[in-house]
Structure 1
Amino acid sequence: MGTTATKAFSAEERAAMKDHAAELKAAARRGSRAQKAAQAEQDLLAKIAEMQDSDRVMAERVHAIVKAGAPVLEPRLWYGMPAYALDGKVVCFFQSAEKFKARYATLGFSDQAQLDDGSMWAAGFALTEVTPAVEKRITALVKQSVG
């Protein structure tokens, strides 16, 4: 890798890109759609299990909320992060604080999420804990994101 690429991306960003390449290769090798979905969820749960305690607890809650609130979304990994896709396109994802050495974890939504609200709307939310009120908000956002 040249020095320009090394300077352009942080070590964490390069690791995320490597994760994404590995995810694409693994998905290409899997068998039926059902096998792919089952393995993708196992991969997601394994990634959550690797997280530090506070992020792991939040990611587990987010996973449960997404599965219950928008069962149409398929769990998968996206750049090494737990994510949820509709028709193969990521709608939302959980980014642990540790992933990019951030102050807080993030629940993010892609442009595929139907969260439009006028000329400006939030597409990412800082998470420090998942309280009952936060859980209710996440549920509403996830449901809205899939229409």
Structure 2
Amino acid sequence: MSSKDEKNLAQVLEKISSMDEPRRSAMRRVHDVVLAAAPTLKPRIWYGMPAYAKSASTPALITLRNDERMNLALTEKAPFRAAGGVDGELMPAAWYFDSVDAATEQRIAEIVRSVVG
């Protein structure tokens, strides 16, 4: 891991650690799931949010937001596919959550893997 990657990771972990509980624990779990699902992604801060990109110099593909609700979101740089079915041409881009259980972890891992291919 390069020193820039280490610095970026430290900034992401610092951002998460500054959150109040129980959000801090939930976001840390999501961070761990993202990195386990796609170990090649590089954590970084993107517009003030924890985010994950293919390299330290490329745009973020995934962000974690901690506003009124927590969410995992794909940026416009992520490869999008229409949902199909009843959702037609709509493209899923954000998933809100209040807590993280095993099923949520599994779904987040699926989403992350779909982004990195």
- Which range, TM-score by smaller chain? 0.7 to 0.9
Q: Is the CA contact 1:93–1:107 (under 8 Å) kept in the aligned structure 2? A: yes
Kindly provide the amino acid, as one letter, of the partner of residue 95 in structure 1: R
> 1:1-147 counterparts in 2 under 5 A?
34-87=2-55, 88-97=58-67, 102=68, 104-117=69-82, 118=84, 119-147=89-117
Instruction: Give the distance between the partners of 2:108 and 2:99, measured in 1 at CA.
Output: 12
TM-score computed with the length of structure 1 as normaliser: 0.70
TM-score computed with the length of structure 2 as normaliser: 0.87
Superposition RMSD in Å: 1.4
- Tell which structure's C-alpha radius of gyration is larger: 1
Specify every segment of 5 or more residues in structure 2 that has no aligned partner in the other structure, as ranges.
Answer: none
Instruction: Give the distance between the partners of 1:142 and 1:40, measured in 2 at CA.
Output: 19
Kindly provide the amino acid, as one letter, of the partner of residue 125 in structure 1: W
Kindly provide the amino acid, as one letter, of the partner of residue 120 in structure 1: L
Instruction: Give the distance between the partners of 1:133 and 1:115, measured in 2 at CA.
Output: 23
Specify every segment of 5 or more residues in structure 1 that has no aligned partner in the other structure, as ranges.
Answer: 1-32
The number of residues matched between the two structures is 110
SS at match of 2:95: strand
Instruction: Give the Å deviation of 1:115.
Output: 4.0
Percent identical: 33
Q: Is the CA contact 1:115–1:141 (under 8 Å) kept in the aligned structure 2? A: no
Instruction: Give the distance between the partners of 2:80 and 2:102, measured in 1 at CA.
Output: 21
Instruction: Give the Å deviation of 1:114.
Output: 2.6
Instruction: Give the distance between the partners of 2:38 and 2:54, measured in 1 at CA.
Output: 10
Kindly provide the amino acid, as one letter, of the partner of residue 122 in structure 1: P
